[in-house]
Every structure is written in C-alpha cells, then in structure tokens.
Amino acid sequence: MFFSKSFFAAAVLATVLSVASAGSPHTQAVKGQVGAIQNAKDFCLFLPPMKGGDIAANEDRAVAFCTTAKVAPPKAGILPKGFIKSAHLVKTNNYIQITGRIDRTKYSLKRTDGGGQYDMKAPVGARCQGYNYFVELIEPDTNIYCIRCCKNKLDCPVNKSTYGCKKVLGGNYA
C-alpha cells in the first residue's frame, strides 16, 4: 500500500475543496445582483439576463447591467450601446434617482411588454451599492425606465409596481 499516503492526501484535499465550494463565509452575491448609481453617466439597471426577455417574467433572475465598467460592481454586465437614450439625475440626502428613455430594440425588448418592477425581493437579494433599498421600473412599451436607490425604505416604495414610473418615482422622461 505504498500509495496510501497520497490517496489519503487526495481524499483530504477533495473534502476541503467541496467544503469550500459549498459555503464560503464571504458569501458572494449571485451573478450580477448588485447595481449602482454614481451619476447620470455611470449607473446600472436591472434587466432580464437574456436579450428579449419579458420584464415581469424575469423578476426572479434579473441581473445588473451598467453603462460603464467604471461603475459596474463585480459580475454586473454592460448595457448595450444605444439602450439608454436619456438619463436625468435627482439626488437628495436620502436617495439618488435616474429616470429617462430607453431604446428597447437594443436589447430586443418587446413592444408589447408593459414592463414591471425590480427591487430588493425581485430578484431576491438584489441591491444597490451604498444604499439600503432600491426600486426600478422599466416599461418597454413606452420606452421609459426609472431607478431610485434609497437610505430609507419609505423613499423606495415597492408596493405600486403597476402604477408605472411616472406615478411611483416621478422625474423627467424627456
């Protein structure tokens, strides 16, 4: 049994590896579940993981896509060129918000898609870097979007998802 030592070593190594992959104490966010807003040029939006995906149907697996790599948290994607048509920033002591127009065709979103909402619970665990809460609505049928990241829960209402950007967050959609 001259190989027993190395066999034992391999078994120990395999156990260590499987424990490590099963659960690290520094649990990483699931792929791309962290967004961010820095300013009207550098920010992220949550979108379905696949081009052309229905907004509401992908509430459980949306991922963050950012305008630039500079603002993108680890594992976030980069937004397709031309997808963001306009971006208007509102910043207060309590929240930061971007609203504006998209060109849905740049991500093959459907003209018939009335849109939906992404927030801390959709997908579960999603968040906005540096803030405690966020809410985003995106409406492919009318080519508008809005996202707000908040310190306080009340500034990021998540219980009006069917009202649309203009009623939930207000802002500029020119």
Ligand X SMILES: *[C@@H]1O[C@H](CO)[C@@H](O)[C@H](O)[C@H]1NC(C)=O
Contact residues for ligand X, defined by CB under 6 A: 157, 159-160
Quick one: 111 or 167, whose CB is closer to ligand X? 167
Alpha-helix runs per DSSP H in the chain:
4-22, 165-168
Quick one: 73 or 157, whose CB is closer to ligand X? 157
User: By C-alpha distance, which of 83, 147, 148, 72 is closest to 109?
Assistant: 83
Q: How far is the CB of 135 from ligand X (least distance, A)?
A: 11
Q: How far is the CB of 160 from ligand X (least distance, A)?
A: 5
Exposure class string for 102-139: b at 16+ Cβ within 10 A, else e = bebeebebeeebebbbbbbebbeebbbbebebbbbbbb
Q: How far is the CB of 156 from ligand X (least distance, A)?
A: 11
Structure tokens at 32: 């791309």
Residue 70: how many CB atoms within 10 A of its CB?
10
8-state DSSP, 28: P
Quick one: 92 or 152, whose CB is closer to ligand X? 152
Give the residue closest to ligand X by C-beta: 159
Quick one: 75 or 151, whose CB is closer to ligand X? 151
Q: How far is the CB of 100 from ligand X (least distance, A)?
A: 24
